[in-house]
Amino acid sequence: MNETIPQAVDGDMAVELSGVNKWYGKFHVLRDINLSVRPGEKIVICGPSGSGKSTMIRCINRLEEHQSGRIVVDGVELTGDLKRIDEVRRDVGMVFQSFNLFPHLTILENCVLAPVWVRKTPRKQAEEQAMKFLTRVRIPEQANKYPGQLSGGQQQRVAIARALCMNPKIMLFDEPTSALDPEMVKEVLDTMVSLAAEGMTMLCVTHEMGFARQVADRVVFMDAGEIVEANAPGEFFANPQHERTRAFLGQILH
């Protein structure tokens, strides 16, 4: 569909979107999206609200369906095939703006649910692993509480630990700090920074430009359903190429 993406790199890329289009009814939300993410690469996606950022990363684990173009995740192309979709979802962790922890389960149960039922890990081993990740996000002492008893920042760190318990190859973050009080943003971002330092492949929709500068290999700017500009963060912030990028940055950076 698009000549600039050679087919040969398919297998090497962690995520590959080529010529992706999506409509909600008549509304064209994603317009000819082309994006390749190398293993270990950190991508920050920004743009005004309604620009299709969330929709794009939700297409990567097929929470949203794209209507044309190709999406290949870790060598598996996403089609209507439910088996493949579950295969992709097992290897792609996702963190949501609203945490989406399961309120009827304790923190530890939240973390072991998918490893036990989807990966068939023995419960004991899954619990040990969960405690390891909860320690890493610095809340092992909350393991037996329920999500409703935790602060927003703690809940989001649990959500990250829960995703990590599946040993994902790729992590998607959909505005992970937007629902948090300002003093809790940092604790979540710190967790994400340390995750990035370990070499995780990350696609992150966020307005935290400090985070983008610090960890992103590339910053992607979207507007009105298309990728307007993608560049290394230094270049992106210092020298935006496109008029729309400059307008957007002018509004959020002071």
Partner 1 sequence: MADARSVAYVRTQAAPVLPPPALSDGALGWLRANLFSGPFSAIFTVLAVAFIAWVAPGLIRYLFIDAVWTANDGASCRSPEVGACWAYIGQKLPFFMYGSYPREWVWRVNMTLVVGAALIVWLLAPKAPAKQIGAFLFFVVYPLLGFILLSGWEKIGLPKIDTDVWGGVFVSLLVSAVGIVVSLPGGVLLAMGRRSTLPVVRIASVIFIEFVRGVPLITVLFMANFMLPLFLPENWTPDRLLRPLVGVSLFASAYMAEVVRGGLQAMPKGQFEGAMALGLGYGRLMRLVVLPQALTKVIPGIVNTFIGLFKDTTLVAVVGIYDFLRAVDTARLDPVWAGPNISTTGYIFAALFYFIFCFGMSRYSQYMERSLAKDRLR
Give the whole-angstrom CA distance, residue 125 versus residue 143: 15
Helix locations, 118-242, DSSP H: 123-136, 152-164, 182-197, 209-215, 233-238
Distances in whole angstroms, Cα of residue 31 to Cα of each of 10, 171, 218: 21, 23, 20
Which positions from 160 through 189 interact with partner 1, judged by CB under 8 A? 162-163, 166
- Binding to partner 1 by residue 61, rule CB under 8 A? yes
Kindly tell me which of 70 and 89 has the beta carbon lying closer to partner 1.
89
Q: Find tokens 């922890």 and name the residue.
A: 101
Q: Using the rule CB under 8 A, which residue among 11, 75, 103, 199 binds partner 1?
A: 103
- Binding to partner 1 by residue 253, rule CB under 8 A? no
Q: Using the rule CB under 8 A, which residue among 38, 84, 90, 186 binds partner 1?
A: 90
Q: Using the rule CB under 8 A, which residue among 79, 102, 125, 235 binds partner 1?
A: 102
Q: Which helix (H) or strand (E) holds 251?
A: helix 243-252
User: Do residues 192 and 160 touch, judged by C-beta distance below 8 A?
Assistant: yes
- Binding to partner 1 by residue 241, rule CB under 8 A? no
Kindly tell me which of 19 and 152 has the beta carbon lying closer to partner 1.
152
| Phi, psi for residue 214 in degrees, rounded to 5 | -75, -45
User: Do residues 113 and 129 touch, judged by C-beta distance below 8 A?
Assistant: no
Kindly tell me which of 159 and 209 has the beta carbon lying closer to partner 1.
159
- Catalog residues that contact partner 1 under the rule CB under 8 A: 61, 63, 82, 86, 89-90, 92-94, 96, 98-104, 113-114, 117-118, 146, 148-149, 162-163, 166
